[in-house]
Amino acid sequence: MAQRMRSGRRVRFPRVSFPRVIGTLIVPLTLCVPWCRFTSAEDISFREWVSRCQRAPANRVLSGRFPRPAELPLPDLQPLHKLLDQVLVNYRRGALAKTDRWVGAAPQPKEFFDTQRSYFTRPPIPFQPFAQKLVVAAGAEFIFHGDFHGDVRSFVGMLQWLNTNGRMDGFRLKSRRCFLVFLGDYTDRGAYGVEVLYTLFRLAVENPGQVLMARGNHEDFLLTANYGFLHELRTKYGPSTNPLRIWRMFDFLPVVIYLGVGNDYLQCNHGGMEPGYDAHDLLNAEGKERYQLLGEIRRRQFQQAHPQWVSPLDARTRQLLTRRMKDFRPQNPTTPNSLGFMWSDYALYKDAAPLGYNTNRMAFVFGKSPTAYLLRTASRGEAQLHAVFRAHQHSSAPNPMMKRLLASRGAFRHWQSTDTVRQANAQADALKSLVDTRPVRPITPGSVWTWNVAPDSVYGRGNRYTFDTIGILTTAPQFTQWKVEVVNIPINVR
């Protein structure tokens, strides 16, 4: 039973199965939006949008409920639908639609861009996860944020900070050399998933090509049906509200993004590694913006070609590889296996087991040496894949990971030399001497960075923090010169 939110009181709802969702929601996608005249998204100014979001009760005040209709930042869904229309048009007319931008086979346009069907409709189209590569000039800035989970208060707080610090004017980035990178999990578990999506869409429309959105594990229609977003829509906007077009939009988000300068790349995604996908061809392809379908996930083939990628190979790990390293073609993000880019995690300590498996997530937990091996494997040729920025690995209770995230000021680098399994339960004061807390940090080759979740959330409440975290990555001609500034933004959660 998954706990859900309902205006004024807490209730419990059973988990929704795939057949139940399909049985109740299959209608033509063109009927999901009332085709009447929309008010322009431009009618909501940046200042007005910030004011609306800040006047709405914080998630911590709501404590599992939804705001009253008079308190909603978006009284109706028309502005969101208008932006969604623009976003979908941009996908159909932009780089995704150009067959020469795809490495290997390009998706069939009539199928890939058919917004009346998806892998969860009848008749279906295939689930087609893909990777994206973007190459920029040295000196470009990338501004990163981890999970939002329905926390729009922190989102607008981030945008206010960027306005105050001269990087933005309202919703617009001032420089074409500045990019926003969001690492997934935009809705669920919070009251303002709609408002988070409105803000994302507004940024994407007003900054074409400069807003990158990775697909998280919650950008999945089954998870949004089970963890709050579907209930949010129907509680706030009526029981007949249908999110099929939003679900379809998730299919246009890459599951992994490779950001590059010259031949140096950073992997950006929500979860972890995916040993069944080889990024070599994509990274070495000519062109600044390229895409590649993941296609068949060839885990077994990778294991056979690289038996030494996990070492030491004890009996437990050998059994794990035998059971889990199988080739498959994804039918959806979790069937027949969870996609690693959306679901997997990383060990915390340099001396942790090289490979584990999280049965709750149905996904691998990667240690330092296998991760380094996978990065090296993708680095064949001129392109070099150096490190990973991601999110995902959060808990609403103060476990070892969350304690390290907070001690690291919201940006934790895994496998630090002074942090070991023996320090797993170290207290906050001790952790600050074990992990990197500097405001500006180099990007260590082979490193993995987890970015914290926004604070006006069940995670912030459970771990008692009130600061949001963004990372400002400044690129340079040489990867050794890349640095990230970790910025904490105080957020009013009352």
pLDDT for residue 17 is more than 90? no
pLDDT for residue 29 is more than 50? no
Average pLDDT over residues 19-32: 45
pLDDT for residue 5 is more than 60? no
pLDDT reported for residue 43 = 78
pLDDT reported for residue 7 = 38
Give yes or no for a contact between 309 and 327, defined as CB atoms under 8 angstroms apart: no
9-13 and 2-6 as β-strands: parallel, antiparallel, unpaired? antiparallel
Give yes or no for a contact between 482 and 440, defined as CB atoms under 8 angstroms apart: no
Q: How sure is the predictor about 4, in pLDDT bands with cuts at 50, 70 and 90?
A: very low
Give per-residue pLDDT as tens, 345-402: 999 999 999 999 999 999 999 999 999 999 999 999 999 999 999 999 999 999 999 9
For 253, 382, 394, the CA distances from 397, given in Å and listed in that order, are 30, 43, 9
Q: How sure is the predictor about 15, in pLDDT bands with cuts at 50, 70 and 90?
A: low
Q: How sure is the predictor about 32, in pLDDT bands with cuts at 50, 70 and 90?
A: very low
Q: How sure is the predictor about 36, in pLDDT bands with cuts at 50, 70 and 90?
A: very low
Average pLDDT over residues 65-93: 96
The proportion of the chain whose per-residue pLDDT surpasses 70, expressed as a percent, equals 91
For the record, the structure tokens of 158 come out as 């981030």
Give per-residue pLDDT as tens, 138-187: 999 999 999 999 999 999 999 999 999 999 999 999 999 999 999 999 99
Torsion of CA 464, 458, 340, 22, to 10 degrees: 180
Q: Domain spans of the chain?
A: 2-108+146-252, 264-490
The Cα–Cα gap between 403 and 432 comes to 10
pLDDT reported for residue 242 = 86
How crowded is the C-beta side of 336, counted as CA atoms within 13 Å?
10
pLDDT reported for residue 26 = 44
Q: How sure is the predictor about 39, in pLDDT bands with cuts at 50, 70 and 90?
A: very low
pLDDT for residue 12 is more than 90? no
Measuring CA to CA, which residue among 325, 324, 372 is closest to residue 346? 372
Whole-prediction pTM: 0.93
Give per-residue pLDDT as tens, 400-456: 999 999 999 999 999 999 999 999 999 888 999 999 999 999 999 999 999 999 999
Q: How sure is the predictor about 319, in pLDDT bands with cuts at 50, 70 and 90?
A: very high
pLDDT reported for residue 30 = 37
